[in-house]
């Protein structure tokens, strides 16, 4: 008998304060939900939880859509699933780009064989919705894909009016709300968004690994048309269900199995046609995370995100730091700071992480080395985190030789929190 001993110590990750634009700290109640025993994927208790999750997601997405469920994979799996299921080779796809994640939409659409038309805005700004509406009516694309909250630049693209323009042009509007869902209003029905993709690891404070999506009957019609061309048995052994699809013009087959949302919706329908094996523990996490968001109340949750953002911004200003980007379109859950001249941004981040256990983010592409990005998202968006971060950042900057009025950031933040607390006690908004 050979005795085997593991060369590795028991897993024991460090406690961190995570103030990046995702992933952020996971709510302990979500972590607890993930530790429960698994159920079989066709156990009625489990399919009951799947149905409850769909209803919770409808409320979160502010929609009456029939379809609201997660794609198993990180947020981009949801984006890719929607785009690959909607875009037929040769389709014209219009993508307004104002940061890194617009390029992700472009890349995925190109891989789907689309004829992609883009317009670009300088990073740090967003599009005027009226300007986009005119482009859409002129270009008459089959699909418009747009990022709602651009984490690379910390900007929020207003969406009102764009859905109406898409309907006028006969286009489907797909929105990446990965960074905004659960932290900033995402009004799927009121804004006439045809398909929306959210993220778990940001404002919902659930680990990365699922992408909640919702889509309406305009999208479903296109899916069913593409399904009509399929023949015979599916890979899962089920007969293809073509009832009700005969009146639709046939489209080309969807070029993915895992990300084919016409098959995923069969799995999430009462028919429960088997597709993949559902991620039980992640579904528990999603159900609990979304339940917690709704229990807090969407309006209250959005207000909490704005409150801590306002204190953070005031504290940074008191330190003499300058924010990056156009203030009018600032994304409330991401704050971008210009790294002061002569300061090594990576060294400051390293001090924050190593000595204070606080993580903030660097940046991508043209902004690399120029800005830091701070997330105030979900469970990470709370008073103690903002105060710890302001104090630690001040210390790290002083240590790096930056001249600032010591103590003023935390003092400003404490005063603001006290005033907010007094107002709340008096019942004032």
Ligand X SMILES: Cc1ncc(COP(=O)(O)O)c(C=O)c1O
- Tell me: does residue 101 bind ligand X (CB under 6 A): yes
Query: Cα 360 to chain center, whole Å?
Result: 18
In the complex, the smallest distance separating the C-beta of residue 333 from ligand X, rounded to whole angstroms, is 10
Which lies closer to ligand X via its Cβ, residue 22 or residue 183?
22
Contacts of 419 (CB under 8 A, 6+ apart): none
- Tell me: does residue 359 bind ligand X (CB under 6 A): no
> Running DSSP on this structure, what letter comes out for residue 328?
G
What's the alpha-carbon Rg for the chain, to the nearest Å? 23
- Tell me: does residue 325 bind ligand X (CB under 6 A): no
Q: In this structure, which long-range contacts are made by residues 226-233, counting pairs with CB atoms below 8 Å and at least 24 apart in sequence?
A: 226/85, 226/88, 226/250, 226/251, 226/252, 226/253, 226/254, 226/262, 227/254, 227/262, 229/253
Which lies closer to ligand X via its Cβ, residue 80 or residue 288?
80
Query: Applying CB under 6 A, which of residues 86, 178, 184, 409 lies at the interface with ligand X?
Result: 178
Alpha-carbon distance 332 to 184, whole Å? 7
In the complex, the smallest distance separating the C-beta of residue 151 from ligand X, rounded to whole angstroms, is 4
In the complex, the smallest distance separating the C-beta of residue 231 from ligand X, rounded to whole angstroms, is 33
- Tell me: does residue 159 bind ligand X (CB under 6 A): no
The first and second tokens of residue 342, run together, are 């002569």
Query: Which range, of 45-53, 144-152, 247-255, 398-406, touches ligand X by CB under 6 A?
Result: 144-152
Query: How many of the other CB atoms lie within 10 Å of CB of 391?
Result: 17
Which lies closer to ligand X via its Cβ, residue 199 or residue 212?
199
Query: Which range, of 45-53, 62-70, 146-154, 214-222, touches ligand X by CB under 6 A?
Result: 146-154
Alpha-carbon distance 331 to 306, whole Å? 10
- Tell me: does residue 74 bind ligand X (CB under 6 A): yes
Residues numbered 19 to 38 that lie near ligand X (CB under 6 A) are: 22
Query: Which range, of 30-38, 147-155, 163-171, 265-273, touches ligand X by CB under 6 A?
Result: 147-155
Query: Applying CB under 6 A, which of residues 75, 153, 188, 214 lies at the interface with ligand X?
Result: 75
Query: Applying CB under 6 A, which of residues 91, 176, 194, 309 lies at the interface with ligand X?
Result: 176
DSSP reduced 3-state for 56: helix
Query: Applying CB under 6 A, which of residues 57, 87, 95, 179 lies at the interface with ligand X?
Result: 179
The answer to whether the beta carbons of residues 262 and 226 sit under 8 Å apart is yes
Greatest C-alpha distance within the chain: 76
- Tell me: does residue 147 bind ligand X (CB under 6 A): yes
- Tell me: does residue 151 bind ligand X (CB under 6 A): yes
- Tell me: does residue 279 bind ligand X (CB under 6 A): no
Query: Applying CB under 6 A, which of residues 56, 60, 76, 181 lies at the interface with ligand X?
Result: 76
Alpha helix stretches (DSSP H) within 15-74: 28-34, 44-61
Query: Which range, of 56-64, 143-151, 299-307, 353-361, touches ligand X by CB under 6 A?
Result: 143-151
* C-alpha closest to that of 215 among 63, 105, 101, 80: 63
Which lies closer to ligand X via its Cβ, residue 82 or residue 178?
178
Strands (DSSP E) along 51-171, which ranges?
67-72, 92-97, 115-120, 143-147, 149-150, 155-156
Which lies closer to ligand X via its Cβ, residue 154 or residue 163?
154
In the complex, the smallest distance separating the C-beta of residue 73 from ligand X, rounded to whole angstroms, is 8
Query: Applying CB under 6 A, which of residues 208, 279, 404, 420 lies at the interface with ligand X?
Result: 208
Q: Which helix (H) or strand (E) holds 225?
A: helix 217-227
Inter-axis angle of helices 383-399 and 345-356, nearest 10: 120
Which lies closer to ligand X via its Cβ, residue 302 or residue 402?
302
In the complex, the smallest distance separating the C-beta of residue 209 from ligand X, rounded to whole angstroms, is 9
285 φ, ψ to 5°? -65, -45
* C-alpha closest to that of 156 among 141, 178, 140, 172: 178
Query: Which range, of 172-180, 231-239, 307-315, 418-426, touches ligand X by CB under 6 A?
Result: 172-180
Residue identified by tokens 């009516």 is: 137
Query: Applying CB under 6 A, which of residues 199, 332, 345, 378 lies at the interface with ligand X?
Result: 199
Alpha-carbon distance 401 to 399, whole Å? 5
> Running DSSP on this structure, what letter comes out for residue 63?
-
Query: Which range, of 30-38, 72-80, 234-242, 348-356, touches ligand X by CB under 6 A?
Result: 72-80
Binding interface with ligand X (CB under 6 A): 22, 74-76, 101, 147, 149, 151, 176, 178-179, 199, 208
């Amino acid at each position: 008998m050979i005795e085997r001993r593991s060369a590795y110590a028991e897993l024991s990750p460090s406690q961190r304060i995570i103030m990046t634009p995702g992933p952020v700290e996971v709510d302990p109640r979500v972590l607890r939900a993930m530790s429960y025993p698994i159920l079989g994927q066709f156990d009625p208790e489990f399919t009951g939880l799947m149905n409850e999750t769909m209803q919770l997601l409808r409320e979160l997405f502010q929609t009456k859509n029939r379809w609201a469920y997660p794609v198993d994979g990180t947020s981009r799996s949801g984006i890719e699933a929607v785009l690959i299921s909607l875009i037929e080779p040769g389709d014209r796809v219009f993508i307004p780009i104002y940061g890194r994640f617009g390029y992700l939409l472009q890349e995925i659409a190109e891989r789907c064989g689309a004829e992609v038309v883009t317009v670009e805005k300088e990073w740090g700004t967003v599009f005027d919705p009226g300007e986009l509406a005119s482009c859409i009516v002129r270009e008459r694309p089959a699909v418009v894909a747009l990022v709602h909250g651009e984490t690379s630049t910390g900007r929020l693209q207003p969406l009102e009016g764009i859905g109406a323009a898409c309907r006028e042009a006969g286009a489907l509007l797909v929105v990446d709300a990965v960074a905004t869902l659960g932290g900033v209003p995402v009004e799927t029905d009121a804004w006439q968004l045809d398909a929306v993709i959210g993220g778990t690891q940001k404002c919902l404070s659930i680990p990365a690994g699922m992408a909640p999506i919702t889509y309406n009957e305009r999208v479903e019609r296109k899916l069913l048309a593409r399904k009509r061309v399929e023949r015979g048995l599916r890979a899962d052994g089920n007969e293809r269900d073509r009832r009700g699809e005969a009146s639709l013009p046939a489209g080309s087959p969807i070029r993915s199995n895992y990300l084919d949302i016409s098959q995923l919706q069969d799995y999430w329908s009462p028919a429960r046609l088997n597709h993949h094996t559902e991620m039980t523990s992640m579904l528990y996490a999603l159900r609990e995370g979304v339940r917690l968001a709704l229990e807090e109340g969407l309006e209250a949750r959005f207000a909490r995100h704005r409150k801590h953002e306002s204190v953070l911004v005031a504290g940074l200003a008191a330190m003499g730091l300058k924010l990056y980007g156009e203030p009018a379109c600032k994304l409330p859950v991401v704050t971008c700071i210009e790294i002061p001249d002569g300061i090594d941004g990576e060294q400051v981040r390293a001090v924050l992480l190593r000595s204070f256990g606080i993580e903030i983010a660097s940046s991508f592409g043209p902004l690399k080395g120029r800005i830091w990005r701070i997330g105030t998202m979900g469970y990470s968006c709370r008073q103690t985190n903002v105060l710890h971060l302001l104090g630690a950042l001040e210390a790290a900057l002083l240590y790096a030789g930056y001249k600032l009025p010591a103590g003023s950031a935390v003092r400003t933040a404490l005063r603001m929190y006290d005033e907010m607390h007094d107002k709340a006690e008096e019942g004032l908004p």
